[in-house]
Structure 1
Amino acid sequence: MNGLHDFHRPLGDTGLVVSPLGLGTVKLGRDQGVKYPAGFTIPDDFEARQLLNLARELGINLIDTAPAYGRSEERLGPLLRGQRQDWVIVSKVGEEFEGGVSSFNFSAEHARFSVERSLKRLETDFIDLVLVHSDGNDLAILQDSGVYEALAELKQAGKIRAFGLSGKTVEGGLLALQQGDCAMVTYNLNEQAEKPVLDFAAQQHKGILIKKGLASGHACLDAGVDPVRASFELIFDHPGVTSAIIGTINPLHLSHNVATAAAVIGGRC
């Protein structure tokens, strides 16, 4: 099976080793307020388990979730039972989603509460990477809220192994990397404004996860050009990129994404 087993790489200096593609799981828990071009049905447990098994067979060991992804965390706990050593789990703090509406709380107290809740939902003693789920006010969050200090303490206590920011600005991404381990950055064929964060990460050996790498399914190109391949050529051409988080619940899309990423990365080795 054409997979990513041979292409795992270090996530900056965290000690974590991850596959170049990660599986985003918003669609396992939430179908309201999501920005995808087509509607979808949340998969049942059988379908979700099949998807996770396929991802693992294809060499994916990175899984991305968040409290704001509806029931994603509480579903993943039972679905991943007995497999904890096989996965690098990313979750988040700061954004809550209830009744179809997002709300934000970046206090240190809420960060501690959120991580403890995620540990219970995910049925684990530690979370590999916790990111601050920014509302766009990246600098204010990092400088004024106390959330990064709380995450540093949780890392010291062994509850999390690394922390960072899923942000929306260059300034926020740079500060997040200076004071933390990783940044999650939007970078795709349509949006490349945060490229300076990737450049900095490459220089400083910090971790970078790409979000919206396929422009949430919106990437449009000339006829005959595979948008997935063109997207991955852009993303993996940058030495600062560790992994791209791709959210899909379609096994065929997942297999195609993995085969394409393997071809692009393998062609650069």
Structure 2
Amino acid sequence: MKTSLHGLARALGSTGISVSPIGLGTVKIGRDKGVKYPQHFTIPDDDAVRKLLATAHELGINTLDTAPAYGNSEERLGQLLTNRNEWIIVSKAGETFADGVSQFDFTAEHITASIERSLKRLKTDYIDVLLIHSDGNDLPIANDLVLWEQLETLKSKGLIRAFGLSGKTVEGGISALQKSDCAMVTFNLNEQSEKPVLTYAEQQNKGIFVKKALASGHVCNNAERSPLEESFDLVFSQPAVASAIIGTINLDHLKQNVEIAVNSLTR
């Protein structure tokens, strides 16, 4: 039985970027305050993060999801990540988190400064995918043409390869996709209100990342089938979905997620 994602990469819309169907979310390596996971966790030390990244790589995962709002996740990846050219790094801009509080700034100037800071933290010359980290007021962000023009400029300079919105609404998601390459949406067994964004993305050949594919660990149980099987079957049945971001620091959970995802993708 195939137990790795090697050979199963999916196209991120028309960007020319190929991502692993499972992406590793890295909030848990940088932040343990103000998160919505059902169980408490301890931020892993450097050796544990190295092992996590090595295991992910062995399992065929090439996509890492981080953000300035994820504590020191970006800095740790910059210090511990090897073989940068073998990874697709997804980061964000617009939200910062300090002293237990998120702050948001979506001006083009702030977004540019945030990207430049992320490049330094990640110790890289480019970010593969840059997402605007919405506060939920998606439409004003999506309608800010100066912001999207600035992202296009940064893309033309090679600082980012693709960009889009990590949003929370259908209207904002679709509006942002009209000006960008991709979007990140919530889509799982419990929450499917953003399905129209996936439909639009499929029609326009735009890429989709799914966040909270397992409902942040709250995925509902079913007596008939594993909730993981149902979750991945649902997510990967959507043609626009390129990658589901799973935030775990547990190696056994990571391996289990990959095995079930492989079964879903190859069944």
TM-score normalized by the length of structure 1: 0.97
What SS does structure 1 have at the residue aligned with 2:163? strand
> 1:224: Cα distance to partner?
5.3
CA RMSD of aligned residues (A): 1.0
Pair 1:28 & 2:29 matched: yes
State whether residues 13 and 240 of structure 2, in contact with CA within 8 Å, keep that contact through their aligned partners in structure 1. no
Which residue does the alignment assign to 1:263?
A: 263
For residues 218-254 of structure 1, the C-alpha deviation after alignment (integer angstroms, 9 at most, x for no partner) is 0112235311111001101111111100000000000
CA deviation string 1:30-64 (max 9, x = no partner)? 00000000100000000000000000000000000
CA distance in 1, matches of 2:28, 2:80: 15
Gaps of 5+ in 1: none
Question: Residue 201 of structure 1 aligns with which residue?
Answer: 201
Q: Quote the offset at 1:149 in angstroms.
A: 2.1
Write out aligned runs for 1:67-106 (5 A). 67-81=68-82, 83-106=83-106
- Asked whether the equivalents of residues 94 and 106 of structure 1 are also in contact (C-alpha less than 8 Å), the reply is yes
String of CA shifts for 1:111-167, please: whole Å, max 9, x gaps.
110000000000000000000000011010121373322211110111000000000
Q: Give the drift of 1:188.
A: 0.2
Unmatched segments (≥5 aa) in structure 2: none
The answer as to whether partners of 1:134 and 1:168 remain within 8 angstroms in 2 is yes
Equivalent position of 1:227 in the other structure = 227
Rounded to whole Å, the distance in 2 between the matches of 1:16 and 1:197 is 20
Question: Is contact 1:106–1:146 with CA below 8 Å preserved after alignment?
Answer: no
Equivalent residue pairs, number: 266
In the alignment, which residue of structure 2 is the partner of 1:19? 20
What's 1:238 paired with?
238
- 1:25-174 equivalences in 2 (<5 Å): 25-81=26-82, 83-144=83-144, 146-174=146-174
Q: Is the 8 A contact 1:106 1:145 kept in 2?
A: no
Q: Distance in 1 between matches of 2:229 and 2:114?
A: 37
**Residue type of the alignment partner of 2:135:** D
- 1:253 alignment partner in structure 2: 253
How many Å separate the matches in 2 of 1:14 and 1:238? 18
Q: What is the letter of the counterpart of residue 99 of structure 1? A: D
CA distance in 1, matches of 2:158, 2:3: 35
Identity of aligned residues (%): 62
Q: Secondary structure at the match of 1:6?
A: coil
3-state SS in 2 of match to 1:46:
helix
